[in-house]
Amino acid sequence: MNELMSTEQLIYLFDVAGVAVFAITGALAAQGKKLDILGVVVLGIVTALGGGTIRDITMDVHPVIWIADTTYLWTAIVSAVSAFILCRYLTYPRRLMLLLDALGMSLFAVLGAQKAIALNMPPVIAVMMAMITGCAGGMIRDILTRQIPLILQRNGELYATCAMLGAIVYVAMSGLIEDSMLMMISITVALVVRLASMYTGLE
Amino acid sequence: MNELMSTEQLIYLFDVAGVAVFAITGALAAQGKKLDILGVVVLGIVTALGGGTIRDITMDVHPVIWIADTTYLWTAIVSAVSAFILCRYLTYPRRLMLLLDALGMSLFAVLGAQKAIALNMPPVIAVMMAMITGCAGGMIRDILTRQIPLILQRNGELYATCAMLGAIVYVAMSGLIEDSMLMMISITVALVVRLASMYTGLE
Amino acid sequence: MNELMSTEQLIYLFDVAGVAVFAITGALAAQGKKLDILGVVVLGIVTALGGGTIRDITMDVHPVIWIADTTYLWTAIVSAVSAFILCRYLTYPRRLMLLLDALGMSLFAVLGAQKAIALNMPPVIAVMMAMITGCAGGMIRDILTRQIPLILQRNGELYATCAMLGAIVYVAMSGLIEDSMLMMISITVALVVRLASMYTGLE
Beta bridge partners of A177: A174
pLDDT of residue A150: 65
Per mean pLDDT, which range of A35-44, B18-27, B29-38, C13-22 is the poorest?
B29-38
Measured over the CA atoms of residue B35, residue B38, residue B44 and residue B50, the dihedral's sign is: negative
The partner residue sitting opposite C144, judged by closest CB among A128, A152, A157, is A152
pLDDT of residue B90: 67
Q: Which residue of C33, C36, C62, C84 is the best one to mutate when testing the A interface, meaning the one whose CB has the most A CBs within 10 A?
A: C36
CA distance B163 to A46: 16
Residue-averaged pLDDT of chain B: 85
Is B122–A74 a contact, with Cβ atoms under 8 angstroms apart? no
Per the CB < 8 A criterion, the answer to whether B132 and B112 are in contact is yes
Q: What is the pLDDT of residues B142-173, one digit of tens each?
A: 888 777 666 656 555 577 788 889 999 999 99
The answer, yes or no, to whether residue B116 has pLDDT greater than 90, is yes
Question: B53 and chain C: CB distance < 8 Å anywhere?
Answer: yes
For every residue of A139-169, DSSP letters joined together read HHHHHHTTPPPGGGSSTTTTHHHHHHHHHHH
The answer, yes or no, to whether residue B50 has pLDDT greater than 80, is yes
pLDDT of residue B23: 94
The dihedral formed by the CA atoms of C140, C146, C151 and C156, expressed in degrees to the nearest 10: -140
Side-chain half-sphere exposure of C126, counting CA atoms within 13 A? 23
CA distances from C172 to C117, C165, C176, C182, C186 (A): 11, 10, 9, 10, 10
Side-chain half-sphere exposure of A46, counting CA atoms within 13 A? 26
Is C39–A154 a contact, with Cβ atoms under 8 angstroms apart? no
Could you state, in order of their start, the residue ranges of all structural domains in chain C?
7-199
Q: What is the pLDDT of residues C148-167, one digit of tens each?
A: 666 655 555 567 788 889 99
pLDDT of residue C109: 94
The answer, yes or no, to whether residue B5 has pLDDT greater than 50, is yes
pLDDT of residue C152: 58
Is B38–C164 a contact, with Cβ atoms under 8 angstroms apart? yes
CA distance A70 to A68: 7
What value of ipTM does the predicted structure carry?
0.77
- Higher pLDDT pick, B94 / C195: C195
Measured distance between the N- and C-terminal CA atoms of chain B, rounded to whole angstroms: 34
pLDDT of residue A203: 42
Q: What is the pLDDT of residues B174-183, one digit of tens each?
A: 989 998 899 9
Residue C111's closest CA among C197, C201, C16?
A: C16
Measured over the CA atoms of residue C138, residue C56, residue A129 and residue B151, the dihedral's sign is: positive
Question: C62 and chain B: CB distance < 8 Å anywhere?
Answer: no
- Which residues in chain A show pLDDT less than 50? 1-2, 202-203
Q: What is the pLDDT of residues B53-73, one digit of tens each?
A: 999 998 989 888 888 899 999
The contacts of residue B130 (CB under 8 Å, 6+ apart) are B109, B110, B112, B113, B116, B163, B164, B166, B167, B170
Question: B139 and chain A: CB distance < 8 Å anywhere?
Answer: yes
Residue A173's closest CA among A161, A160, A188?
A: A188
Chain length of chain C: 203
Per the CB < 8 A criterion, the answer to whether A40 and A80 are in contact is yes
pLDDT of residue A149: 67
Is B148–A146 a contact, with Cβ atoms under 8 angstroms apart? yes
**Residue A200 φ/ψ region, left for φ over 0, alpha for ψ in the -120 to 50 degree band, beta for the rest:** beta
Is A57–B59 a contact, with Cβ atoms under 8 angstroms apart? no
Phi, psi of C28 (to 5 degrees): -65, -35
From chain C, the residues in CB contact with A139 under 8 A are 144
The answer, yes or no, to whether residue C108 has pLDDT greater than 90, is yes
Beta bridge partners of B174: B177
For residue C29, give the 3-state DSSP assignment: helix
CA distance A129 to A56: 9
Per the CB < 8 A criterion, the answer to whether A57 and B58 are in contact is yes
Per mean pLDDT, which range of B191-200, C14-23, C87-96, C135-144 is the poorest?
C87-96
The answer, yes or no, to whether residue C57 has pLDDT greater than 50, is yes
The contacts of residue A85 (CB under 8 Å, 6+ apart) are none
- Higher pLDDT pick, C14 / A155: C14
Is B36–C158 a contact, with Cβ atoms under 8 angstroms apart? yes
pLDDT of residue A1: 47
Report the residue of chain B nearest C156, measured CA to CA. Answer: B35
Min Cα separation C106/chain A (Å): 25
pLDDT of residue A4: 64
Touching subunits of B (3+ CB pairs, under 8 Å) are: A, C
How large is the average pLDDT for residues B26-45? 81
